[in-house]
Amino acid sequence: MGGAEGVDQVVTRRTTSPGTMEASPDLYDFLRHWEGEPGGLPALTAYRDSANVLTIGYGHTLGVQPGARITEAEAEGLLQYDAQEFVDGVNRLVAVPLEQHQFDALVSFAFNVGLDEDEDTKAEGLGDSSLLRLVNAAQFGLAAGQFTLWVYANGQVSRGLERRRIAEQAMFRYGDYGMRP
């Protein structure tokens, strides 16, 4: 044995300071899978999602008109643009250091349900959620359990949202970016 006999070695996990994180390439693949068509392809024609919102590309909703069409390159540009809003929002909302996979899971969650950075306390997205309160209290195990509570679209449980939340939960807990159909 070396010179550190009897000394417990501490293994630390890499974290990044709050407010300074960026999305990983794995997150973009995850979003393409969940926000796009089967096979991770973009929806090139506008459609109504499970919440009856006009959507195009990879979950883009702002200003979408019925019958609108875009190219794959435009869909990718919109994904990058839209995701940055949620990267910035999660950076504003989270006050504790996170691991990359935790950050990515929160960005995916917010991308899907919204940031909810308003003045009320009604949980309409990440901002007023118990998920965020638990993350900011560094109670990550309890926070992970919150993902699967967000599975409703138009007042009904959505099987697609159940599957997505399980995948986000696995990403948050274990760094598992598996896409899970």
pLDDT of residue 13: 46
**Helical (H) or strand (E) element with 152:** strand 152-153
Q: For residue 14, is pLDDT > 70?
A: no
Q: What is the pLDDT of residue 117?
A: 87
To the query of whether residue 124 is one of the catalytic residues in this protein, the response is: no
Give the mean model confidence (pLDDT) for residues 130-152.
97
The percent of residues above 90 in pLDDT, for the chain, comes to 76
Antiparallel, parallel or unpaired: β 54-57 and 43-48: antiparallel
Q: How many CB atoms lie within 10 A of CB 90?
A: 28
Give the pLDDT mean for 34-40.
Answer: 89
Architecture of the domain made up of 25-174: Orthogonal Bundle (1.10)
Share the mean pLDDT of the chain.
89
Give me the catalytic one of 26, 37, 49, 76. 49
**Lowest pLDDT segment from 11-15, 69-73, 79-83, 126-130:** 11-15
Contact, 101 vs 73, CB < 8 A? no
pLDDT tens digits for range 83-120: 999 999 999 999 999 999 999 999 999 999 999 988 88
Which residues lie below 8 Å from residue 173, measured CB to CB, with a gap of 6+?
140, 141, 144
Indicate the pLDDT class of residue 150, thresholds 50, 70 and 90: very high
Compare 53 and 4 and report the one with higher pLDDT: 53
Length of the chain: 181
Q: What are residue 57's DSSP bridge partners?
A: 43
Catalytic residue among 35, 104, 128, 168: 35
Query: Any residues with CB less than 8 A from the CB of 159 and at least 6 apart, and which?
Result: none
Both tokens of residue 98? 């996170």
Q: Over 50: is that where the pLDDT of 10 sits?
A: no
The encoded tokens of residue 92 equal 């504003």
**Cα–Cα distance measured from residue 48 to residue 55, given in angstroms and rounded to the nearest whole number:** 6
pLDDT at 8 over 60: no
Q: What does the domain layout of the chain look like in residue ranges?
A: 25-174
Decide if 35 is catalytic. yes
Q: What's the token pair of residue 119?
A: 């003045």
| Confidence bin at 181 (pLDDT 50/70/90) | low
